[in-house]
Structure 1
Amino acid sequence: MDLELAMQSFLQESAELLDEMESILLDAEADSITAEQLGALFRSMHTIKGSAGLFGLDEIVRFTHQAENLLDQLRDGHLQLDAGLSGVLLRSHDHVKAQLAAVAAGQVIPAGEQDSILADIAALLQQPAGSPCAVTASTSSAEPPDDSDWLLSLRFGREVLRNGMDPASFVRYLATLGQIQAIASCCSALPADDSFDPECNYLRLEIQFRGAVDADQLAGVFAFASEGSQFIISPRAQLSSHLQQALQAGDAAEQQSCRDIWQQWGLWQPAADSTALPAAVAPSDHKPAAPAADSKAGRSSESRFIKVEAGKLDRLINLVGELVIAGAAANLLARSHGSSPLLESTVVMAGLIEQIRSHTLSMRMVPIGETFSRFPRVVRDVGHELGKSIKLEISGADTELDKTMVDKLADPLTHLVRNAIDHGIEDVQQRRAAGKPDQGHVWLNAYHESGSVVIEVADDGGGLDQQRILAKALQRGIISSDAMLSEQDIYRLIFAAGFSTAEHISNLSGRGVGLDVVQKNIEALRGTVEIDSESGLGTTFRLRLPLTLAIIDGFLVEVGSSTFVIPLETVVECMELPATPGGAGMPERLQLRGEVLPLLYLRPFLELDGEPGRRQNVVVIQTGSQRVGLVVDALQGEFQTVIKPLGSLFRHLKAISGSTILGNGAVALILDVLALIQHATQQEAGRYGQEQDTCPPAGSRQPHNNDTSSGK
Structure 2
Amino acid sequence: MNEDDIRDALDTFITEARELTQDFEEGLLELESAPDGPEAINSLFRAMHTLKGSAGLFGLRHLVSFTHVLESVLDQLRAGALHVTPALVSALLPCADHITALVDGVAAGRTSPTEAESAASERLLAALDPFSSGAVDAGGPSEVAVSGNARTWLLSLWFGPDCLRNGMDPLSFLRYLTTLGTVAQVITVADALPPADEVDPESCYLGFEVEFVTEASKADIESVFEFVRDDSTIRILPADDAIQLIESLPENDRIGDLLRRSGVVTDLELARALRIQHDSGPMGKPLGEILVAEQMVQQPVVEAALGRQRKVADGRQQDNQTIRVFASRLDKLIDLVGELVIAQAGVGSADGLSEAQQHVLRLVEEVRHTALSLRMVPIGTTLRRFERVVRDVCVDLDKEVDLVIAGGEAEMDKALVERIGDPLLHLVRNALDHGIEPRAERERHGKPARGSLRLNAFHDAGSIVIEVSDDGRGLNRDKILAKAVDRGLASPSATLTDPEVYALIFEPGFSTADAVSNLSGRGVGMDVVRGAITALRGSIDVQTAPGAGTTIQIRLPLTLAIIDGFLVGAGDSCFIIPLDRVTECVELPAEASGRSFMHLRDEALPFVRLRQAFGIPGQPSRRQSVVVIEHSGQRAGIVVDHLLGQSQTVIKPLGRLFKDVRWVSGSTILGGGDVALILDIDALLGQYIARDRQRNLVPA
Q: TM class, shorter-chain normalised?
A: 0.7 to 0.9
Pairing 1:119–2:126 present: yes
CA–CA separation in structure 2 for the residues paired with 1:511 and 1:311: 39
CA–CA separation in structure 1 for the residues paired with 2:578 and 2:219: 63
Question: Deviation per CA, 1:575-600, whole angstroms, max 9, x where unpaired?
Answer: 222332xxx83453233233221122
CA–CA separation in structure 2 for the residues paired with 1:517 and 1:539: 19
1:601 is aligned, of 583, 599, 609, to 609
Indicate if the aligned counterparts of 2:255 and 2:305 stay in contact, CA closer than 8 A.
no
Q: Which residue of 1 aligns with 2:648?
A: 640
CA–CA separation in structure 2 for the residues paired with 1:51 and 1:628: 57
Q: How many residues align?
A: 601
The structure-2 alpha-carbon separation of the partners of 1:148 and 1:683, relative to structure 1 and needing over 3 Å to count, comes to farther
Indicate if the aligned counterparts of 2:52 and 2:67 stay in contact, CA closer than 8 A.
yes
The structure-2 alpha-carbon separation of the partners of 1:579 and 1:24, relative to structure 1 and needing over 3 Å to count, comes to same
Pairing 1:466–2:477 present: yes
SS in 1 for 2:590: coil
Q: Which residue of 2 aligns with 1:305?
A: 322
The amino acid across from 2:344 in the alignment is G
Report the CA distance between 1:127 and its aligned residue.
8.7
1:656 is aligned, of 642, 660, 664, to 664
The amino acid across from 2:77 in the alignment is L
The amino acid across from 1:106 in the alignment is G
Report the CA distance between 1:216 and its aligned residue.
9.2
The structure-2 alpha-carbon separation of the partners of 1:539 and 1:222, relative to structure 1 and needing over 3 Å to count, comes to closer
SS in 1 for 2:671: coil
Q: Which residue of 2 aligns with 1:45?
A: 48
SS in 2 for 1:454: strand
CA–CA separation in structure 1 for the residues paired with 2:74 and 2:253: 22
Q: Which residue of 1 aligns with 2:600?
A: 592
Mapping of residues 160-559 of structure 1, within 5 Å: 287=302, 290-291=305-306, 300-331=317-348, 340-342=352-354, 344-559=355-570
Indicate if the aligned counterparts of 1:659 and 1:667 stay in contact, CA closer than 8 A.
yes
Mapping of residues 55-66 of structure 1, within 5 Å: 55-66=58-69
The amino acid across from 2:128 in the alignment is I
The amino acid across from 2:590 in the alignment is A
SS in 1 for 2:130: helix
SS in 2 for 1:657: strand
CA–CA separation in structure 1 for the residues paired with 2:297 and 2:55: 41
CA–CA separation in structure 2 for the residues paired with 1:58 and 1:147: 34
CA–CA separation in structure 1 for the residues paired with 2:445 and 2:502: 23
Percent of residue pairs identical: 43
Indicate if the aligned counterparts of 1:331 and 1:347 stay in contact, CA closer than 8 A.
no
Of 349-358 and 58-67, more deviation after overlay is shown by 58-67
Indicate if the aligned counterparts of 1:659 and 1:668 stay in contact, CA closer than 8 A.
yes
Report the CA distance between 1:428 and its aligned residue.
2.0
Report the CA distance between 1:393 and its aligned residue.
0.8
TM-score, structure 1 normalization:
0.75
Report the CA distance between 1:140 and its aligned residue.
9.8
Question: Deviation per CA, 1:331-385, whole angstroms, max 9, x where unpaired?
Answer: 26x77xxxx344x544333221111111100000001112112101000101110
Indicate if the aligned counterparts of 1:331 and 1:346 stay in contact, CA closer than 8 A.
no
Give unpaired runs (5+ residues) of structure 1. 129-138, 151-173, 183-206, 269-276, 690-694, 699-712
SS in 1 for 2:118: coil
CA–CA separation in structure 1 for the residues paired with 2:459 and 2:534: 18
Q: Which residue of 1 aligns with 2:193?
A: none
CA–CA separation in structure 1 for the residues paired with 2:154 and 2:52: 22
Question: Deviation per CA, 1:287-319, whole angstroms, max 9, x where unpaired?
Answer: 455459899989644441221110111111111
Pairing 1:612–2:625 present: no
Report the CA distance between 1:73 and its aligned residue.
1.7
Report the CA distance between 1:448 and its aligned residue.
0.5
Question: Deviation per CA, 1:50-80, whole angstroms, max 9, x where unpaired?
Answer: 2222222222222222222221221122222
CA–CA separation in structure 2 for the residues paired with 1:58 and 1:503: 49
Question: Deviation per CA, 1:581-623, whole angstroms, max 9, x where unpaired?
Answer: xxx8345323323322112222222221222222221211113
SS in 2 for 1:653: coil
SS in 1 for 2:447: coil
The amino acid across from 1:40 in the alignment is S
CA–CA separation in structure 2 for the residues paired with 1:503 and 1:457: 23
The structure-2 alpha-carbon separation of the partners of 1:298 and 1:496, relative to structure 1 and needing over 3 Å to count, comes to closer
The structure-2 alpha-carbon separation of the partners of 1:141 and 1:559, relative to structure 1 and needing over 3 Å to count, comes to same
The structure-2 alpha-carbon separation of the partners of 1:120 and 1:463, relative to structure 1 and needing over 3 Å to count, comes to same
CA–CA separation in structure 1 for the residues paired with 2:48 and 2:599: 65
Indicate if the aligned counterparts of 2:76 and 2:147 stay in contact, CA closer than 8 A.
no
SS in 1 for 2:421: helix
1:629 is aligned, of 628, 631, 637, to 637
Indicate if the aligned counterparts of 1:179 and 1:211 stay in contact, CA closer than 8 A.
no
Pairing 1:143–2:145 present: no
CA–CA separation in structure 1 for the residues paired with 2:524 and 2:423: 11
Give unpaired runs (5+ residues) of structure 2. 136-144, 157-217, 227-232
Of 385-394 and 1-10, more deviation after overlay is shown by 1-10
1:88 is aligned, of 72, 91, 103, to 91
The amino acid across from 1:326 in the alignment is A
SS in 2 for 1:392: strand
The structure-2 alpha-carbon separation of the partners of 1:330 and 1:224, relative to structure 1 and needing over 3 Å to count, comes to farther
Indicate if the aligned counterparts of 1:149 and 1:236 stay in contact, CA closer than 8 A.
no
CA–CA separation in structure 2 for the residues paired with 1:472 and 1:536: 20
CA–CA separation in structure 1 for the residues paired with 2:60 and 2:224: 21
The structure-2 alpha-carbon separation of the partners of 1:317 and 1:175, relative to structure 1 and needing over 3 Å to count, comes to farther
Indicate if the aligned counterparts of 2:42 and 2:250 stay in contact, CA closer than 8 A.
no
2:28 is aligned, of 19, 25, 30, to 25
CA–CA separation in structure 1 for the residues paired with 2:297 and 2:536: 72
SS in 2 for 1:111: helix
